[in-house]
Every structure is written in structure tokens, then in C-alpha cells.
């Protein structure tokens, strides 16, 4: 069994990234609870933005999902469980994560259309979205809403998330707020 870790923890803090701390808390608890599972990392930074040429190429290959251009989509489709981690940037998330979403949104592989509309084809039953923001969590945060809707499209039944908010409000309180958010992430395993 495989947990896919979509690692979009781009940060000027490097290993001190709060978003990465959340991801580590979740993954460590996951490994402890599922010692027989493999954890595989996906790196959105490896993927190029989509171009018209890429889309034409993708359209002509429809059904040939063994092509390298579908590698990210194949990996996402076949994962048994998924955790996505990305900082809260400009009210959503880094552009690289959107590029990743565009790569995994492969019609015929991760979802397909029927007369009733979109049907999801991903194997995972659960996806957890982890993010940290300078401000406190607002209503209908775009990253949270987007992943919730993507889970519906991909046929992933359970969506949960942690928003570690208020990270840049008062530096004295940041460690405690982050520790609380990490505890919440552990509890989602």
C-alpha cells in the first residue's frame, strides 16, 4: 500500500517551514500507524506549465497512459492514500501546485465523463490537505475548497484538511499555534 506525499512546501525557511512541519507530523504518525505502507513523494517543481503543444500531444495520446507525460497522473491515480502540503500564498497556494493539478487532471485516467457527468477513477479513499498561513483561517479558503472539489472529481471519498493559521501575527505565539496544528494533523491519520 502506498501513501503519496505531494510536497509543495516551497519556503524561505527551508527545513524550518511550518507547512513541512505539518506534513512531517502527519507522515510520522501515518508511518507509526501503518508500518507496512510505503511513502512516495511527488514533487510539483519537476513539472512544466502546460502549453498548447503539450495539450495537443496529450489529446493525440488519449488512452496511451503509459507515456511519460502521464507519470504524475498515474502516480496520483494509483496511490492508496494522499497527503498534499502547500503554504497559503496570495489567498490560495503556489502556482506549482496548480501546475501539478493540471498534470494529474488527465481525462480517462483520473476521471472520465458519462451521461451523468464526471466520474472519478482514483484509487485513494482519502486525501488530506495541509497548509499554513500568516493570517488566521478565513471562511472558504480557496486551497481547501479547490481540493475538496477535486476529491469529488477524482472519486476520492474522504477529504480533510488542516489550516495552521496565524503564523505571522505574533511570533511569540507561532510555536504554540503550530504545535496545535501538528497535533490536529496527527489526529487525522
Ligand X SMILES: Cc1cc2nc3c(=O)[nH]c(=O)nc-3n(C[C@H](O)[C@H](O)[C@H](O)COP(=O)(O)O)c2cc1C
Binding site for ligand X (CB under 6 A): 9, 11, 13, 17-20, 87-91, 132-135, 167-168
- Residue 57 C-beta: closest distance to ligand X, Å: 32
With 0-12 CB in 10 A as exposed, 13-18 as middle and 19+ as buried, what is 171? exposed
Task: Pinpoint the alpha helices (H) of the chain.
Answer: 18-33, 52-60, 71-78, 95-104, 142-154, 174-187
d(CA 20, CA 6): 11
By beta-carbon proximity to ligand X, the closer residue of 17 and 77 is 17
By beta-carbon proximity to ligand X, the closer residue of 108 and 134 is 134
d(CA 118, CA 170): 44
d(CA 13, CA 165): 17
By beta-carbon proximity to ligand X, the closer residue of 122 and 178 is 178
- Residue 65 C-beta: closest distance to ligand X, Å: 33
- Residue 132 C-beta: closest distance to ligand X, Å: 4
CA angle 167, 169, 170 (to 5 degrees): 95
d(CA 66, CA 108): 12
- Residue 145 C-beta: closest distance to ligand X, Å: 15
Let me know: does 100 contact 82? Beta carbons within 8 Å.
no
By beta-carbon proximity to ligand X, the closer residue of 101 and 167 is 167
- Residue 11 C-beta: closest distance to ligand X, Å: 3
By beta-carbon proximity to ligand X, the closer residue of 8 and 109 is 8
Amino acid at each position: 500500500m502506498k501513501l503519496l506525499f505531494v510536497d509543495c512546501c516551497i519556503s524561505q525557511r527551508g527545513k524550518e517551514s511550518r507547512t513541512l512541519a505539518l506534513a512531517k507530523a502527519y507522515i510520522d504518525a501515518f508511518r507509526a500507524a501503518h508500518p507496512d505502507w510505503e511513502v512516495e513523494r511527488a514533487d510539483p517543481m519537476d513539472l512544466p506549465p502546460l502549453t498548447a503543444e503539450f495539450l495537443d500531444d496529450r489529446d493525440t495520446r488519449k488512452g496511451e497512459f503509459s507515456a511519460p507525460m502521464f507519470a504524475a497522473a498515474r502516480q496520483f491515480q494509483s496511490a492508496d492514500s494522499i497527503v498534499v502540503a502547500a503554504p497559503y500564498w496570495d489567498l490560495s497556494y503556489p502556482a506549482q501546485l496548480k501546475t501539478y493539478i493540471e498534470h494529474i487532471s488527465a481525462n480517462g485516467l483520473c476521471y472520465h465523463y458519462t451521461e451523468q457527468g464526471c466520474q472519478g477513477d482514483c484509487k485513494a479513499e482519502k486525501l488530506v490537505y495541509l497548509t499554513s498561513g500568516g493570517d488566521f483561517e478565513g471562511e472558504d479558503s480557496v486551497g481547501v475548497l479547490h481540493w475538496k472539489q477535486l476529491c469529488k472529481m477524482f472519486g476520492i471519498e474522504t477529504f480533510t484538511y488542516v489550516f495552521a493559521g496565524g503564523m505571522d501575527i505574533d511570533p511569540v505565539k507561532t510555536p504554540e499555534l503550530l504545535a496545535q496544528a501538528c497535533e490536529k494533523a496527527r489526529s487525522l491519520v
